């Protein structure tokens, strides 16, 4: 029983790191431009399919396809920003929500027509790294995926805090008008931030696809999880999102041995609504409402 719990906790943390990475994409976009990106799930699904085609058709190593997906996601994100989001930014919440949701519908619609909703699977294994724990084995792919998620999050953090462009992004997040007055081209900063958010979400989708089978609709599930994570960590806070992801993984891990798996979403979403109402600035930010 005790080792059951330990194994399930380790498992939770490892998956949680990837939840965290996915949520960073969502929270970055919200933090910078105050847009809740409802095409997040579709982006994650696209990342999954990108892995499938890069590995099966192009024969690339699954982990080496990450830079390709990051670059592709960035270009795609910037494109979507100029087409769908640019016109409605700064308007009412409803408009930005609907604009991103419309893109989501288009992607899911095309994806369903092209790839159907049947499951796909990419065979990835890293036997050298497989760890075992009193009869439980932790697959190497999980360790690698979690490590890569943390590394990517770290790189993004370094980018935001130690480069000029990162500084510009943070300035725009803080106060768009003031940033504009300081000579920052805010339109481009918004487009770039959107691109980075999309790229990160796609990379998270790729990492998830190395672990589990997926369909074009799988992204929706991870989108909902990202919302929970983002709320746990505080909307608009990338470092909080990673911690929130690991926290969500822990919650799933702790509850797994005790309650039936089908009850986990009940716990998650109840928690989600409660935290949103009681601590709208996130659980990890102490002192309610302070920023």
Partner 1 sequence: MILKRPTLWIILLIAAAFALIPAVTGDIALRESLLLGAVYIILASNLNLMIGYTAYVNFGNIAFFGLGGYIGLYVVNTLHWSLWPACLIAGCVVSLLALVLGSGILRLRGAYFALATIGVNEAVKAFVTNFQPFGGASGMYLSFSSFNALGGARHALWLAYFAMIALMALSMILSLVIKRSRFGLGLFAIREDEDAAQVLGVKAPLYKSLTYAASAFIPAMAGTIYFFKNGVILPEQAFDLTLSIEAIVMLMLGGQGTVLGVALGAFAYEQFRGYLLVSSTFSQFQLVVAGILLLLIVLFLPEGFMGWVYRRVPRLRKVIE
- Determine the Cα–Cα distance for residues 198 and 206; give it in Å rounded to an integer: 12
* Interacting span for partner 1 (CB under 8 A) from 4-12, 168-176, 224-232, 248-256: 224-232
30 is an interface residue for partner 1 by CB under 8 A: yes
104 is an interface residue for partner 1 by CB under 8 A: yes
- Determine the Cα–Cα distance for residues 247 and 232; give it in Å rounded to an integer: 8
- Determine the Cα–Cα distance for residues 4 and 7; give it in Å rounded to an integer: 5
228 is an interface residue for partner 1 by CB under 8 A: yes
* Interacting span for partner 1 (CB under 8 A) from 99-107, 144-152, 158-166, 181-189: 99-107
113 is an interface residue for partner 1 by CB under 8 A: yes
Bridge partners (DSSP) of residue 138 are: 131
- Determine the Cα–Cα distance for residues 282 and 232; give it in Å rounded to an integer: 5
Q: How many residues bind partner 1 (CB under 8 A)?
A: 43
Bridge partners (DSSP) of residue 116 are: none
87 is an interface residue for partner 1 by CB under 8 A: yes
284 is an interface residue for partner 1 by CB under 8 A: no
Residues 161-180, mask of contacts with partner 1 (x by CB under 8 A): --------------------
Bridge partners (DSSP) of residue 133 are: 136
93 is an interface residue for partner 1 by CB under 8 A: yes
Angle between the N-to-C axes of helices 40-56 and 2-33, in degrees from 0 to 180, rounded to the nearest 10: 110
**Shortest spacing between CB 224 and partner 1, in angstroms:** 6
* Interacting span for partner 1 (CB under 8 A) from 140-148, 160-168, 197-205, 276-284: 276-284
Residues 145/62, Cβ–Cβ less than 8 Å: no
141 is an interface residue for partner 1 by CB under 8 A: no
- Determine the Cα–Cα distance for residues 74 and 201; give it in Å rounded to an integer: 10
Structural tokens at position 156: 């993004």
Closest CA to 144 of 271, 12, 17, 51: 17
158 is an interface residue for partner 1 by CB under 8 A: no
90 is an interface residue for partner 1 by CB under 8 A: no
* Interacting span for partner 1 (CB under 8 A) from 56-64, 182-190, 200-208, 223-231: 223-231
Helix, strand and coil in the chain, % to nearest 5:
75, 5, 25
Among 6, 68, 106, 283, binds partner 1 (CB under 8 A): 106
Among 103, 184, 204, 241, binds partner 1 (CB under 8 A): 103
- Determine the Cα–Cα distance for residues 26 and 90; give it in Å rounded to an integer: 18
Residues 262/245, Cβ–Cβ less than 8 Å: no
Return residues touching partner 1 (CB under 8 A). Answer: 30, 34, 36, 84, 87-88, 91-95, 97-99, 101-106, 108-110, 112-113, 224, 227-228, 231, 235, 260, 262-263, 265-266, 268-270, 272-273, 276-277, 280
């Amino acid at each position: 029983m005790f080792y059951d719990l330990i194994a399930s906790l380790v498992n939770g943390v490892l998956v949680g790191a990837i939840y965290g990475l996915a949520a960073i994409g969502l929270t970055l976009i919200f933090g910078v431009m105050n847009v809740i990106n409802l095409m997040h799930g579709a982006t994650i699904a696209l990342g999954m399919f990108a892995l499938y085609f890069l590995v099966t058709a192009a024969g690339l190593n699954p982990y080496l396809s990450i830079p390709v997906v990051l670059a592709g996601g960035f270009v795609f994100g910037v494109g979507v920003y100029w087409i769908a989001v640019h016109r409605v930014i700064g308007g009412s919440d409803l408009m930005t929500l609907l604009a991103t949701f419309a893109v989501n519908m288009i992607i899911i619609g095309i994806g369903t027509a092209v790839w159907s909703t049947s499951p796909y699977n990419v065979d990835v294994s890293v036997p050298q790294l497989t760890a075992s724990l009193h009869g439980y084995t932790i697959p190497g792919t999980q360790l690698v995926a979690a490590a890569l998620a943390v590394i990517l999050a770290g790189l993004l953090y370094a980018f935001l805090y130690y480069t000029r462009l990162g500084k510009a992004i943070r300035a725009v997040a803080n106060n768009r008008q003031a940033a504009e007055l300081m000579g920052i081209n805010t339109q481009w900063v918004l487009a770039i931030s959107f691109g980075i958010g999309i790229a990160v979400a796609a990379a998270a989708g790729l990492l998830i696809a190395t672990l589990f089978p997926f369909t074009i609709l799988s992204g929706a599930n991870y989108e909902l999880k990202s919302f929970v994570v983002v709320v746990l960590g505080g909307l608009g806070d990338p470092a909080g999102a990673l911690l929130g992801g690991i926290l969500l993984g822990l919650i799933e891990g702790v509850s797994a041995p005790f309650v039936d798996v089908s009850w986990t979403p009940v716990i998650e979403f109840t928690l989600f609504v409660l935290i949103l109402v009681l601590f709208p600035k996130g659980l990890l930010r102490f002192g309610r409402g302070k920023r």
